[in-house]
Structure 1
Amino acid sequence: MSLNQQFITMLAMLISGLSMGIVFDGYRVVAHQLHFPKWTKPVLDVCYWMIAVCFIFRMLYITNQGEMRFYVFIGLFIGVWFYFLWFSFTTIRVVVILMKIIKQIVRFLIRSIEILILKPLLGLYKLVRVLLRFLLWFAMFIGRIVLQLLSPFWKLLVFLTRPIWRHFRMPAWVARSIQQVNVIWNRLFKREK
C-alpha cells in the first residue's frame, strides 16, 4: 500500500470520526428533546453503533479495500477527539435550534390544520345539527296543527261510522289499533289544552 493511499485512508478515518461525533450528538439531543422512553435508549444506542460500524467499514473498503491497520484506529480516535474538543458544543446548539424550529413548524402546521379544517368542519356539524333540530321541531309543529285541523273530521267520522261498526264484529286487533289511535289522539290534544 502506497503512502498516498495510507494518507487518504487516515483522512477518511478522521472524517469518519468527525461524522460519528456529529451523528452521536445529534442523536443524543433529539432523543432528549423528544423525550424517548428509557427502554428505547439501549435499542437506539445499539442501532447507532451498528450504523457507525457499517459506515466505517464502508469507508475503509472504499479507501484501502478493507485492510485494518493501526493508523485506521488512530485516525478514528483523532477524528472523534478533535470533534468533541472543537465542534461538540456548536453541533449541540445547532441541533437544539433546529429542533426548536422543527417544533415551531409542526405546531404551526397543527394549528393551521385545526383552524382551517377541523374548526370549520366542527362548525358545519353544529350548524347541520341545529338545522335538523329546527326542521324536526317545525315538522312536529306543522303536524300538530294538521292534527288539530283534522280533529273535527276525525270525530265526525267516528260518529258517522259508529252505527256501522256496531252491526259488524271487527277483529280484535283492529279494535285494539283504533283504541290505541284514540288514546294517542287524546294525549296529544290534552297536552295542548
Structure 2
Amino acid sequence: MTLNVQFLTLWFMFVSGMGLGMLYDAFRVVFVQLRLPRWTFPLADVVYWITATVCVFGTLVHSNQGQVRFFVFVGLIIGLLVYMMTLSRTVRKVIAALIRAVKWLLRFFKRTFTLLFIKPAIGLYKLAWVLLGFLTALAMFLFRVVVQLVYPVWKLLLWLTRPLYKHLRVPARVLRWLNFLKQLFQKWFRKGK
C-alpha cells in the first residue's frame, strides 16, 4: 500500500468519522423533536450501527480495497472528535430547525386542506340536510293543500256515484279500497283544520 493510498484512506476515514458524528446527532435530535417512545431507542441504535458499518466499510473498500489498518481507526476517531468539538452544536440546531420547519409545513398543509376541502364538504352536507328538510316540509304542506282542495270534489263524486254502486255489484276489494281512500281523505281533512 503506497503512502498516497494511506493518506487518502486516512482522509476518507476522517470524513467518515465526521459523518458518523453527524448521523448520531441527527438521531438524537429526531428523537427529542419527534418525542418518539423509549422502546424505539434500541431499534434506532441497531439502525445507526448498521448504517455506520455499511458506510465505513463502503468507504474503506473504495479507498484501499477494504484493508483494515491502525490509521483507519485513528482517522475515524479524529474525524469524530473534530466534528464533536466544532460542528456538533450547529448541526443539531440546523436539524432541529429543519424538523420544526417540516412540522410547520405539515400543520399548514393540514389546515389548508381542512379549510379548502373538509369544511366546505361539511357545509355542503349540512346545507343538503337543511334543503332536504325544507323540501320535505314543503311537500307535506302542498300535499295537505291538495287533499283539502280535492276533499270536496271527492265527497261530491261519492255522492254522485252512490246510486250507481248501490245497484251495481262492486267487488268487495274495490269497496274496501274506496272506503280506505274515504277514511284517508277524512283524516287529512281533519288535520288540515
Structure 2-normalised TM-score? 0.88
Q: Deviations over 1:51-70 (max 9, x none)?
A: 11111111111101111111
Shift of 1:93: 1.3
Q: CA RMSD in A?
A: 1.9
Amino acid aligned to 1:133: G
Question: What are the residue-to-residue correspondences of 1:139-150 with 2, within 5 Å?
Answer: 139-150=139-150
State the partner residue of 1:130: 130
Question: What are the residue-to-residue correspondences of 1:28-177 with 2, within 5 Å?
Answer: 28-166=28-166, 167-168=168-169, 170-172=171-173, 174-177=174-177
Output the CA distance in 1 between the equivalents of 2:178 and 2:46. 81
Q: Call closer, same or farther: CA 1:81–1:137 in 2, change over 3 Å.
A: same
Output the CA distance in 2 between the equivalents of 1:61 and 1:169. 106
Output the CA distance in 2 between the equivalents of 1:181 and 1:68. 102
Output the CA distance in 2 between the equivalents of 1:158 and 1:30. 86
Q: Deviations over 1:78-127 (max 9, x none)?
A: 21222222222211111111111111111111111112222222222222
Extract unaligned runs of 5+ from structure 1: none
Shift of 1:169: 5.0
Q: Deviations over 1:153-186 (max 9, x none)?
A: 11222333334444425245x4544444334333
State the partner residue of 1:18: 18
